[in-house]
Amino acid sequence: MDRSRIDAHIKPLLGKGIIDTLKLGDIEGALADIAVGKTSKARVGSRGGATTGGEGGAARTMSTLHSLLEHAVRLGKITSNPAKGVRRLASTPRDRRLSRAEIEKLGKAMRIAEQDGEHPTGLAAIRCFLMTGLRRMEGLALERAWLHDEEGSIRFPDTKSGAQTRVIGRAAVDLLLAQPQAGSRFFFPADWGEGHFVGIVRVLDRICAMARLVDVTPHTLRHTFASVASDLGFSELTIAALLGHASRGVTQRYIHIDEALRLAADRVADEMADILDGKAAAARPPRRGARQSQEFQETDQRVPQSES
């Protein structure tokens, strides 16, 4: 992703300059250009995606550039980082999540698309993301060796929050184990080569167009998982553990897998599968006291919690 940002945004806008003459104003100008789409390009060929820019792309590109220049300072190539102090663009956080009715529409569209020959790996990945709440690259790059079937968990050697164990529901485990081996170490392998599948955005766009759903991204599926877990009566603490949020001050390599967390993962995965398959009952408010009976006690400090 860093290489893509360098090639798509940094080089076209700043690549012809000399680093010693680079000023903060130049960098903020490039930030603004990326945000308004000056470096946007249509998709070329059958692989890869379009270069879209926008506020999110601009912010991530500036993060990459800042890191590169900071590394140059450490190596003694430059005396100071000209990107230090660059203003961050104010943007509205994306909090889109699918309602139960929208999940049902998505599931119906997926069943129709499967019959029409839609990419089976993409369909399986979408279903997996909804049933586990995995981040996009966590799911797409998920290796078979990381899944512990009997434990019902994935042991990631590295994530946004460091190495950790993520508990997933039995239905999600079964979905992963049902994926064809195809001689790849990944559950969702690429169509050719040794890498993992990357086309989930295009598959998801086609499915959502069929279901008449708008503004849906892979991260929307993660938010939707959390929303369904909340509807079932689980608290923010339990949902944070299921999503793999880092815990402030927690240094252990793996979280303790409590039976309550395992049951919560099973419940959410089963409910999501039922909604997708059109088998779920109408949503009901949780019973009084259900939060305490179904999940961790709030005082259990073994469960991670923090940022989105």
Q: Does 301 fall in a domain?
A: no
Note the pTM of the prediction, 2 decimals: 0.67
Residue-range definition of the domain harbouring residue 168: 100-294
**Same domain for 150 and 41:** no
Q: Contact, 21 vs 9, CB < 8 A?
A: no
Q: Does 264 fall in a domain?
A: yes
pLDDT of residue 268: 97
Ranking 32-41, 55-64, 93-102, 155-164 by mean pLDDT, the lowest is 155-164
pLDDT in tens, 48-98: 555 666 777 888 888 888 888 999 899 998 899 988 888 776 655 567 899
pLDDT in tens, 262-285: 999 999 999 999 999 998 765 544
pLDDT in tens, 119-146: 999 999 999 999 999 999 999 999 999 9
Q: Does 90 fall in a domain?
A: no
Residue 235 phi/psi, 5-degree rounding, is -85, 175
What's the burial of 134, exposed, middle or buried (CB within 10 Å: 0-12/13-18/19+)?
buried
Quick one: tokens of 24? Answer: 């903060």
Closest Cα to residue 77, out of 68, 66, 89, 86?
68
Structure confidence at residue 290 as a pLDDT band (50, 70, 90): very low
Q: Does 84 fall in a domain?
A: no
Q: Does 270 fall in a domain?
A: yes
pLDDT at 294 over 80: no
**Same domain for 175 and 36:** no
pLDDT of residue 211: 95
Q: Does 82 fall in a domain?
A: no
Residue 126 phi/psi, 5-degree rounding, is -60, -45
pLDDT of residue 254: 44
**Same domain for 66 and 182:** no
pLDDT of residue 291: 45
Q: What total number of domains does the chain contain?
A: 2
**Same domain for 162 and 275:** yes
**Same domain for 178 and 30:** no
pLDDT of residue 158: 79
**Same domain for 180 and 61:** no
pLDDT of residue 253: 46
pLDDT of residue 39: 84
**Same domain for 108 and 70:** no
pLDDT at 205 over 90: yes
Q: Does 205 fall in a domain?
A: yes
pLDDT at 166 over 80: yes
Q: CA-CA distance, 46 to 77, in Å (whole number)?
A: 39
**Same domain for 120 and 14:** no
Assign residue 184 the CATH number of its domain.
1.10.443.10
**Same domain for 241 and 116:** yes
pLDDT at 160 over 90: no
pLDDT at 258 over 90: no
Structure confidence at residue 288 as a pLDDT band (50, 70, 90): very low
**Same domain for 110 and 46:** no
Mean pLDDT of the chain: 83
**Same domain for 227 and 137:** yes
pLDDT at 304 over 60: no
**Same domain for 273 and 148:** yes
Residue 26 phi/psi, 5-degree rounding, is -65, -40
* Alpha helices in 116-148, H assignment, sequence order: 120-132, 136-140
Q: Contact, 227 vs 97, CB < 8 A?
A: yes
Q: Does 88 fall in a domain?
A: no
Is the backbone of residue 16 left (phi > 0), alpha (psi -120 to 50) or beta?
Answer: alpha
Boundary-marking domain end, from 74, 109, 134: 74
Residue predicted with more confidence, 114 or 17:
114
Residue predicted with more confidence, 59 or 184:
184
pLDDT of residue 91: 54
pLDDT at 32 over 50: yes
The separation between CA 290 and the C-alpha centre of its own chain, rounded to angstroms, equals 29
pLDDT of residue 266: 96
